[in-house]
Amino acid sequence: MGMPEQPLTHVPEFDPEDEYRPEPEPELLPPTWMDGSLRIGIHASIAGSYLNALESARKLGCNALQIFSASPRMWQAGSARIPDADAAAFRARRAELGLGPLVIHANYLINLAAAQPMLRTRSIQAFHDELVRGVALGADFLVVHPGSRGEATPEQAVATVIESVKQGSKRISLGNLRILIENTAGMGAAVGARLEELAEILAGLRNVPAEACIDTAHLFAAGYDIKSETGLTSTIDLIEGTIGLERVPVIHANDSKIPLGGRVDRHENIGEGKIGAEAFARILTHPRLGASAPQGLTGRAFVLETPIDQPGDDRRNVAKLWELAGLREQAPPAEKGFSMLTAAIKKIQTRTAKAEKAAARKTKVAIKAKASDGKPKKARKIKRG
């Protein structure tokens, strides 16, 4: 790469137990999900139990799924491990249901490009823990965003990401688990909006099982016009020429609330965003993006990360992908009326959102009152509406 190695000021301390674990038994046969059929999944909630995510994916009519292996917006306090019995039950049930691939999305706080030493150390540690949990759950892929470069140059940031991934994946037997670096929408100082940049990161990770996850909404927001037929062709050519399509086993299928090149990450239901149904039909039926050789990649998965604003949005998005892929007949049956967002949860969410809004308004009024004359004043009554 010709880039300076980034010295680590704080060496993260890993659990020594991870270093001496026996290597998982190598699989002699390819996993059942690599049968040449298209894999369609959704990000499923682990609320309550890891097993719930499997049941949700099945009831929604998926044959693949993505999960978080822990809370995505908190640093893990205490043990980051999954109890062996829970992990074993999860692996057994997943095998029964034939769901695959299993994708884990890493915590959003992880910033592998961080220049700030404390944040970087924390990020490497958390990334390492993600890998440990991924192996325990028998995951196929761990998706991680490259991070945000802050004041660093793009070149420095790429070098930092490479070094962070190397550090975090050191001394752990990954078995079949592969790391996928995801392209970004290019919000703020996000690394990885350009496919070339993603390719540079992967080029620096030759000795790590690292590939790419491509998100359609991020592509579009980053300026790749996958909505038009010619734009899709040139984008596919560019992926081929930089990363290599054979190194993109997972595609995040999200429509975008943001127009082409808007550089903001906002997902939309399939067909209801700026990319649109027609473009998704082209994407889902494109032989080079398919799940069977010779043109496609065996076992390739399209995974939804679409919003669930109304009960049933999740089920409808899954059905839409099967339909636009031209595979409605072959799709696994969904459970009628099932949604991860029930009417009861929706009610609680609405109530919480309203309360939060009111609290925020109250604080604002109180601050204003305080600032107006320097003396603390009773917060004015707020009109509710």
Identity of the residue, 135 or 144, whose beta carbon is nearer to Zn ion in the bound complex: 144
HSE of 169 in the Cβ direction (CA atoms, 13 Å)? 23
Identity of the residue, 82 or 180, whose beta carbon is nearer to Zn ion in the bound complex: 180
By beta-carbon distance, which residue lies closest to Zn ion?
252
Rounded-to-integer distance, Cα 290 and Cα 292, Å: 6
Identity of the residue, 12 or 178, whose beta carbon is nearer to Zn ion in the bound complex: 178
Identity of the residue, 133 or 252, whose beta carbon is nearer to Zn ion in the bound complex: 252
CB neighbour class for 200 (10 Å; exposed up to 12, middle 13-18, buried from 19) = buried
| Residues of span 95-114 touching Zn ion by CB under 5 A | none
Stretch that binds Zn ion, among 43-51, 198-206, 248-256, 369-377 (CB under 5 A): 248-256
End-to-end CA distance of the chain, in Å?
Answer: 58
| Residues of span 202-221 touching Zn ion by CB under 5 A | 215
Burial 73-107 (b: 16+ CB within 10 A, else e): eeebeeebbbeeeebeebbeebeebebbbbbbbbb
Identity of the residue, 87 or 251, whose beta carbon is nearer to Zn ion in the bound complex: 251
In the complex, the smallest distance separating the C-beta of residue 143 from Zn ion, rounded to whole angstroms, is 7
Rounded-to-integer distance, Cα 72 and Cα 305, Å: 14
Stretch that binds Zn ion, among 26-34, 231-239, 257-265, 271-279 (CB under 5 A): 257-265
Dihedral of CA 337/338/340/343: which sign? positive
- Residue in 107, 94, 95 with CA at minimum distance from that of residue 51: 94
Among 129, 255, 265, 268, binds Zn ion (CB under 5 A): 265
- DSSP 8-state symbol, 358: H
Q: How far is CA 295 from CA 179, 230, 292, in A?
A: 23, 19, 7
In the complex, the smallest distance separating the C-beta of residue 311 from Zn ion, rounded to whole angstroms, is 22
Q: Does 163 bind Zn ion (CB under 5 A)?
A: no
Q: Does 255 bind Zn ion (CB under 5 A)?
A: no
Number of residues that bind Zn ion (CB under 5 A): 3
Stretch that binds Zn ion, among 29-37, 146-154, 265-273, 354-362 (CB under 5 A): 265-273
Among 59, 120, 122, 252, binds Zn ion (CB under 5 A): 252
Residues that bind Zn ion (CB under 5 A): 215, 252, 265
